[in-house]
Structure 1
Amino acid sequence: MDAACDRLHWCYGVFYYEGKLFVADPANSRLLGWKYLADLRLLHGTDANVLIGQLDFQSKGENRVYGLPMRDSLCWCYGVQVCGDKVAIADSGNNRILLWDLE
Structure 2
Amino acid sequence: MELRTQREQQNMQQVEMTNVKVSAEAEHWKLVSKQREEQLAALQVQVETMRQEKQTQETRYQAKLKRMEEQVQHQMEQLQRESENYRAEHTRLLTDREKTHFDK
TM exceeding 0.5: no
Looking at secondary structure, tell me which structure has more helix per residue: 2
TM-score range, shorter chain: under 0.3
Larger RCO of the pair (alpha carbons < 8 Å, separation 6+): 1
TM-score with structure 2 setting the length: 0.13
Larger radius of gyration: 2
Looking at secondary structure, tell me which structure has more strand per residue: 1
